[in-house]
């Protein structure tokens, strides 16, 4: 089985990339940078694609090219950002900068849809295609895109 985890460098995404897979499976991690010292399941192959989903069109092209022609069974999209003070009692939606809201929508929605559109033909060739969308609960300091 070929499984791609987007947002795989830390937190839940890293736990997924390190905990999934059986001998013969291929796991493909996606993040801006490949983290050091990954430990994956014995017998599972691990590949990495470096792409910044904050640049949705460029990232989708990089990711699509990295897996084109290989097939894909499961896409786990585990990436998202929030307002800087989203989890702070002082949070005030009306005080948010429009540019910050635009960045959040681009990362959380546009990047997700564009990447799914690019990978859907590969997924539909699988006998049992799956897309799992996880929107992590982030702290105010975690901005992954």
- The token duo for 17 is 């990339």
pLDDT at residue number 137: 58
Instruction: Give yes or no for a contact between 46 and 20, defined as CB atoms under 8 angstroms apart.
Output: no
Cα(45)–Cα(65) distance, rounded to whole angstroms?
19
| pLDDT value at residue 142 | 52
Kindly state whether residue 66 falls inside one of the protein's structural domains: yes
Tell me the average pLDDT across 8-21: 90
Specify the pTM.
Answer: 0.86
Mean pLDDT calculated for residue range 25-34: 94
Assess whether pLDDT exceeds 50 at residue 140. no
Question: What CATH number does the domain containing 57 carry?
Answer: 3.40.50.720
How many residues comprise the chain?
Answer: 145
What average pLDDT is seen over the chain? Answer: 88
| Alpha-carbon 51 to chain mean position | 9
Q: How many domains are there within the chain?
A: 1
Q: What is the pLDDT of residue 138?
A: 47
Domain presence at residue 117: yes
pLDDT single digits (tens) 41-54 = 778 899 999 999 98
Position 143 in a domain = no
Span 57-83, pLDDT tens digits: 999 999 999 999 888 999 999 988 888
Mean pLDDT across 134-143: 56
With respect to residue 145, please indicate whether it lies within any of the assigned structural domains.
no
Helix (H, G, I), strand (E, B) or coil at 126: coil
Query: Is residue 37 included in any domain, yes or no?
Result: yes
| Percentage of the chain modeled with pLDDT above 70 | 92
Identify whether 87 is part of a domain. Answer: yes
Residue 144 in domain: no
In a domain, 141, yes or no: no
Q: Is pLDDT of 136 > 70?
A: no
Domain around 53: 2-134
């Amino acid at each position: 089985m070929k499984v791609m985890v987007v947002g795989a460098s830390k937190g839940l995404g890293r736990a997924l990339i390190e905990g999934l897979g059986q001998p013969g499976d291929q796991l493909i991690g996606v993040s801006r940078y490949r983290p050091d010292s990954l430990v994956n399941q014995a017998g599972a192959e691990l590949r990495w694609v470096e792409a910044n989903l904050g640049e949705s069109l460029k990232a989708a092209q990089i990711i699509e090219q990295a897996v084109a022609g290989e097939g894909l069974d499961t896409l786990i999209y585990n990436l998202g950002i929030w307002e800087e003070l989203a989890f702070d009692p002082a949070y005030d939606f009306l005080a948010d900068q429009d540019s910050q809201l635009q960045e959040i929508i681009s990362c959380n929605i546009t990047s997700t849809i564009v990447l799914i559109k690019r990978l859907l033909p590969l997924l539909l060739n699988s006998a049992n295609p799956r897309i799992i969308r996880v929107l992590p609960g982030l702290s105010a300091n975690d901005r992954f895109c």
